[in-house]
């Protein structure tokens, strides 16, 4: 059985004080015994405050990115050991990193390796642009990004990674991907893992959907058994919209848990 994940990516939002308040609101608002993994990804400056607010709770903390080198003359960058002091997870390959900051498939792969070397779980984001989708290249792009990101990882590292399928055109646009289509692409990812990695990875890895997820549409995604949760931007910025996502995931587990991952 795969435990669903609801991860909030706060992007370039929240000062330290705002992050602390939101993290505390999430921690205090979560119902116990929820069988859902909850991850908060604040900006670097608020990692420490978020980790303090989450201490003693089941809420986990992620960085939104990192550089792969352990240390050195890399002005503005943050290293895996720095992140590992404060977080359990790190997002790598988010489309904003790829398209605004120029991260390549090779960068994403280096970051995935660096994460595992420092016992951080990478949340590896992949997704096609609108141009690629319109050209009928979605599956090829997804498989290409996936193969590049996982290149050279040990089987155990692949299994413990988290994948997020985030169609670029659905991020922050309010144009969420059709849930059936998101589930189809996630199924494609699982089939590729089974064919090219190992059957255990295909069964055990968590694959999330991301792109304009909100309380009113999340159930449509989670009802597909291949979809193991959501990576959420806009709707993660307030406890009032984030907590219902976790509650929905809990309800879906309660209803379909025994079939998940079988």
**163 vs 202 by CB, closer to ligand PGA:** 163
186: left (phi over 0), alpha (psi -120 to 50) or beta: alpha
Quote the Cα angle for 20-251-245, to 5°: 35
Residue tagged 């193969």 (tokens): 147
Query: Would you give the DSSP letter of residue 135?
Result: T
Q: How far is the CB of 59 from ligand PGA (least distance, A)?
A: 18
Helix (H, G, I), strand (E, B) or coil at 216: coil
Q: How far is the CB of 8 from ligand PGA (least distance, A)?
A: 9
Of 94, 113, 116, 224, catalytic: 94
**202 vs 227 by CB, closer to ligand PGA:** 227
**4 vs 210 by CB, closer to ligand PGA:** 210
How many other C-beta atoms lie within 10 A of the C-beta of residue 115? 27
In terms of Cβ atoms closer than 10 Å to its own Cβ (0-12, 13-18, 19+), residue 170 is buried
State yes or no: is 94 an active-site residue: yes
What is each CA distance from 179 to 68, 182, 251, 256, in whole angstroms?
A: 34, 5, 18, 17
Q: How far is the CB of 253 from ligand PGA (least distance, A)?
A: 21
CB 170 within 8 A of CB 209: no
Query: What is d(CA 163, CA 126) in angstroms, rounded to the nearest whole number?
Result: 8
Helix (H, G, I), strand (E, B) or coil at 71: coil
Q: How far is the CB of 18 from ligand PGA (least distance, A)?
A: 17
**172 vs 244 by CB, closer to ligand PGA:** 172
Q: How far is the CB of 199 from ligand PGA (least distance, A)?
A: 29
What the block records as the tokens of 137 is: 């290249």
List of residues contacting ligand PGA (CB under 6 A):
9, 166, 171-172, 210-213, 231-235
**80 vs 233 by CB, closer to ligand PGA:** 233
State yes or no: is 113 an active-site residue: no
- For 50, residues 6+ apart whose C-beta sits below 8 A from its C-beta are 19, 20, 23, 40, 42, 61
Closest residue to ligand PGA, based on beta-carbon distance: 233
Q: How far is the CB of 107 from ligand PGA (least distance, A)?
A: 18
**202 vs 245 by CB, closer to ligand PGA:** 245
Of 89, 116, 166, 224, catalytic: 166
In the chain, count of helices (H) and strands (E)? 12, 8
Question: Catalytic positions, please?
Answer: 94, 166
């Amino acid at each position: 059985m795969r435990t669903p994940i609801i991860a909030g990516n706060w992007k370039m939002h929240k000062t330290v004080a705002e992050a602390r308040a939101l993290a505390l609101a999430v921690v205090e608002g979560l119902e116990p015994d929820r069988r859902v993994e909850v991850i908060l990804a604040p900006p670097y400056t608020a990692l420490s405050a978020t980790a303090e607010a989450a201490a003693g709770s089941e809420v986990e903390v992620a960085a939104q990115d990192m550089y792969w080198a352990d240390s050195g003359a890399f002005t503005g960058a943050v290293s895996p050991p720095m992140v590992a002091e404060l977080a359990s997870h790190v997002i790598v390959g988010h489309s904003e990193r790829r398209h605004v900051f120029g991260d390549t498939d090779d960068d994403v792969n280096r970051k995935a390796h660096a994460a595992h070397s420092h016992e951080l779980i990478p949340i590896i984001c992949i997704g096609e642009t609108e141009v690629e989708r319109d050209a009928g290249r979605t599956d090829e792009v997804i498989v290409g990004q996936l193969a590049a990101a996982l290149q050279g990882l040990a089987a155990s590292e692949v299994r413990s990674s988290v994948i997020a399928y985030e169609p670029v055109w659905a991020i922050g646009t309010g144009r969420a991907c059709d849930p059936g289509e998101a589930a189809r692409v996630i199924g494609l990812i699982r089939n590729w893992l089974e064919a090219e990695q190992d059957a255990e990875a295909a069964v055990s890895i968590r694959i999330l959907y991301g792109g304009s997820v909100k309380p009113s549409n999340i159930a449509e995604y989670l009802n597909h058994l291949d979809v193991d949760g959501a990576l959420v931007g806009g709707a993660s910025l307030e406890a009032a919209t984030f907590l219902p996502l976790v509650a929905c995931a809990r309800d879906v587990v309660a209803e379909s848990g025994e079939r998940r991952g079988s």
